[in-house]
Amino acid sequence: MIQFDAVHKRFPNGTTAVHDLSLDMPEGGVTVLVGSSGCGKTTTLRMINRMVEPTSGTIRVGGKDVTRQDAAELRRSIGYVIQQAGLFPHRTVLDNIATVPLLLGWSRRRARTRAAELLETVGLTADAGKRYPHQLSGGQQQRVGVARALAADPPVLLMDEPFGAVDPVVRTQLQDELLRLQKELSKTIVFVTHDVDEAVRLGDQIAIFRTGGHLPPAELLARPADDFVADFLGAERGLKLLSLRTLADVPQAPAPEGGTWSLVLDAANKPLHWASKDTEIPVRPLEDGDSLLAALDESIASPTGLIARVNAAGC
């Protein structure tokens, strides 16, 4: 667990970036810090690994006060991913990933073996390890950045807007990859973003920076603490809430008979399309794990306002 207890950060020019922050970030979960530019979220993140020193208060990682530890050793024990990856341009991808293990005294062979394993873990081919950062796409470079942060198997991973510099399609892919990795590795992740949708998608808890507040995303969306939080979440926070709920808790009912449109099934009793006289409209079957937002989208696209829902037994 990462714990902030009455933490302040005042810079020499008199600017107060963080004021009286008390916050617990659960072990094995993703805590997302979200807010507009200049609200202190990146400063908060960087105080965890002492790239920024707190002015007062206490920060503990795993029960240990970070200010009582050697700063260099602390940083080597915490993974750190930034926007645009921050890779060394003169080193191959494999050597970039092996950086921290080598600093920790691993043999070159062991470090490169670990790096090669992580290439596959983050969805890159072995051939990518021989390339240099400039030979990779932006999305591939971000994957390398994540692999480098994971190389020494740190319990804590700090991520400062890591997907902010890539296009929306690649960003969604990287978010998917992070969710997959987290399910497998269960790291304690602190993730900074200004994108509420990204925060809701990735976070186990979200802290909105101003007066603050840390809640599970569903509770945050359903009951924002004040007008500032409600405005920050946006007018579509109800739709964001639908993205967190699934069809699993919604009763399933058979399709009504005798309407203008009928649902055509294949030999395995799976939905093929909606049919009416000479017209056919594609259908995308949904499962219990799909979100209520996906169900709403499909309902709007459906000529009947209904969705085709399937389970292990069929339609």
CATH numbers and ranges of domains, the chain: 2-242 (3.40.50.300), 248-301 (no CATH)
Q: How far apart are CA 26 and CA 230, in angstroms?
A: 24
End-to-end CA distance of the chain: 44
pLDDT score recorded for residue 245: 66
pLDDT score recorded for residue 296: 72
CA distances from 154 to 176, 221, 280 (A): 21, 32, 53
pLDDT digits (tens, 9 = 90+) for 16-31: 888 888 888 989 999 9
Q: How far apart are CA 115 and CA 194, in angstroms?
A: 31
pLDDT score recorded for residue 13: 86
pLDDT digits (tens, 9 = 90+) for 141-164: 888 988 898 888 889 999 998 887
Q: What is the mean pLDDT for each group of 10 consecutive residues in the chain (315 residues)? A: 90 84 89 82 92 93 92 90 83 91 90 90 88 89 89 90 82 87 90 86 82 48 57 56 66 67 78 79 77 73 75 54
Burial class (CB in 10 A: 0-12, 13-18, 19+), 289: exposed
Q: How far apart are CA 100 and CA 49, in angstroms?
A: 15
Q: How far apart are CA 73 and CA 54, in angstroms?
A: 18
